[in-house]
Amino acid sequence: MDDLESLVVTEQEVLKILRDLRNRENLKLDAAREYAQQLRHNSEPGTDESKRAENIFRHPINAFHFITHHTKTWEALREGLRDPATRDSLAKIQDLKNSTKFPDDEDRIGTAHAFWRLQATYKFHPKDVFNGRIPNTRPTPPFTAREAFIVGQKQAQDSNFLSALQYLETAVERYHEENVLRPWHGGRLVELLDWLQFAVWHSSRNASRALEISLMIQQLQPTMENLEHNIKTYTDYRANLTEEQRAEVDLPPKEYKETAEDGHYERLCRGELNVAPRVHKHQRCYLEDYKNPVLLLQPIKTEVAHVDPDVFVLHDVFLDSEIKRIRAVSSGVLKRANVISKGTTGQVTSSRISKTAFLADSRDPSIASASSRSGLVSNLDPKNAEPLQVNNYGIGGMYHSHFDFFNDPDGHGLHLIKPDQGDRMATFMVYMTDVEVGGATVFPRINLTIYPEKGSVAFWFNLYRDGVPDIRTLHSGCPVLAGSKWVANKWYHEVEQDKTRLCGLQPDSPQEEVVLL
């Protein structure tokens, strides 16, 4: 090689090193730019911190943007700032972040899962979600490629393939649109394509499209795990099809239908079912005072929401200031409540639904006062009741159908019944927030939907007068679509309550027929 030739080769190598350096620096800058952009977005001028925080967590997509930002985008920035020149800045940010509780991976996965629950209950399309246009809520910025990927991946893991496909296809599209600005996830395109081929195959057995995507992966990363196996599977599958079958399989994937779960419960959550006119006829409102001097001055505004079983909504029982105090007192002690629930495909998923805490009357005067008010208003004796239980549901938070009584049909709760207390005879549930969208309490067996109204109370008896559980009281808390939901339960037990709610010899013994021995 003569000198001139080797000079050209050397120049090429220098150019390569400089290009690598530029790419690395760009990666860092892009990570910093993306992170900063979200911070700017979160700090709308003119709003105070608590309003800002509330605004972010009132909308599922804003909450998701925020959580992804503090998990995935932060990971990318941390990677970018690791080298010696920028390590100091990283340490400073890390110090600041260590002093506060930031969302973690569990929050991210929980929120990603919530989109499925919200879609399936309130009947909207994935494109409403990734375009930031969820019906009945404020428009928000759309999902980024990364966000569409996170939700699509979660839905594919949960075997909701048709919906997953919508998110993953969009993630690829947005990846290409964003790529100019954000090379950070260049390396993750193969991962995204790998989930896409998986969702394509499982949603429609479209071997041609799955093969096409697998061949794209091969171009990018020939060593990708399972790649060869997948290519062989799809090739063999196609080879064994008749012409006719192939034409059918190669059709575009089935469109995602918004009617994924259209049961009774979902329809009630959407407010689509009305109670029968027969029941309506008995609905009424009245002022109740139980001849109690305190209530004579301020009788309870009682609405009969359902007759037999009787469910009441008691209006304006708690003041905003009282609620504010109860929420403040319970905030510090709330713990995540997990529920194991079955997905549509039968697999068991653990989903975060709410945070909960039992608060003794001794904890704060506001708790004691709520307990005694519940006794006054329900005309039951709070001495035989559980401590106040406070529940806070986040976005997508819900409570699956259940009975409040312990003597459930499977007998699982029997051990919780103490002979000196008895079963949970009545539920007194305080709504401590209005909920912007969603979050109703529904009774699927009696077609009843109650919408939360701050300061009001839902009240019903879980047992017949003879103490037998009333299975018509099955109820659920619908997923919160926007806003936040706080409720507080006071559960009254049977023993000692017969002074005001007389027990009977028959399930439906009316008050007058009771024989006191």
Ligand X SMILES: O=C(O)CCC(=O)C(=O)O
Integer-rounded Cα radius of gyration of the chain: 29
Q: In the complex with Fe ion, which residue's Cβ is closer, 160 or 462?
A: 462
Q: Does 423 bind Fe ion (CB under 5 A)?
A: no
Q: C-beta of 274: minimal distance to Fe ion in Å?
A: 22
Q: In the complex with ligand X, which residue's Cβ is closer, 394 or 477?
A: 477
Number of residues that bind Fe ion (CB under 5 A): 1
Q: C-beta of 104: minimal distance to ligand X in Å?
A: 25
The CA distance from 179 to 462, in Å, is 58
Binding-site partner at residue 487 among ligand X, Fe ion, none, CB < 5 to 8 Å by type: ligand X
Q: In the complex with ligand X, which residue's Cβ is closer, 103 or 477?
A: 477
Q: C-beta of 354: minimal distance to ligand X in Å?
A: 8
Q: Does 404 bind Fe ion (CB under 5 A)?
A: yes
Per CB under 5 A, contacts with Fe ion among 246-265 are none
Task: Kindly give the interhelix angle for 161-178 and 189-204, rounded to the nearest 10 degrees.
Answer: 150
Q: C-beta of 441: minimal distance to ligand X in Å?
A: 3
Q: Which residues of 373-406 are buried (b: 16+ CB within 10 A; e: fewer)?
A: bbbbbbebbbebbebbbbbbbbbbbbbeeebbbb
Q: In the complex with Fe ion, which residue's Cβ is closer, 127 or 412?
A: 412
Q: C-beta of 181: minimal distance to ligand X in Å?
A: 43
Binding-site partner at residue 140 among ligand X, Fe ion, none, CB < 5 to 8 Å by type: none
Q: C-beta of 337: minimal distance to ligand X in Å?
A: 9
3-state secondary structure of 63: helix
Short-list 389, 409, 386, CA closest to 474? 409
The CA distance from 106 to 92, in Å, is 25
Q: In the complex with Fe ion, which residue's Cβ is closer, 280 or 400?
A: 400
Asked whether 438 and 451 are in contact (CB, 8 A), the reply is no
Query: What is the signed CA dihedral for 38, 93, 79, 25, rounded to 10 degrees?
Result: 80
Only one of the segments 44-52, 174-182, 348-356, 398-406 lies at the binding site for Fe ion (rule: CB under 5 A); that segment is 398-406
Only one of the segments 169-177, 217-225, 243-251, 397-405 lies at the binding site for Fe ion (rule: CB under 5 A); that segment is 397-405
3-state secondary structure of 129: helix
Q: Where are the beta strands (DSSP E) in 377-474?
A: 388-393, 399-402, 424-431, 437-438, 441-443, 448-450, 457-461
Binding-site partner at residue 477 among Fe ion, ligand X, none, CB < 5 to 8 Å by type: ligand X
Site of interaction with ligand X (CB under 6 A): 391, 399, 404, 441, 475, 477, 487, 489
12: Cα within 13 Å, side-chain hemisphere: 6
Asked whether 236 and 201 are in contact (CB, 8 A), the reply is no
Q: In the complex with ligand X, which residue's Cβ is closer, 216 or 337?
A: 337
Q: In the complex with ligand X, which residue's Cβ is closer, 164 or 269?
A: 269
Q: C-beta of 441: minimal distance to Fe ion in Å?
A: 8
Q: Give residues in contact with Fe ion (CB under 5 A).
A: 404
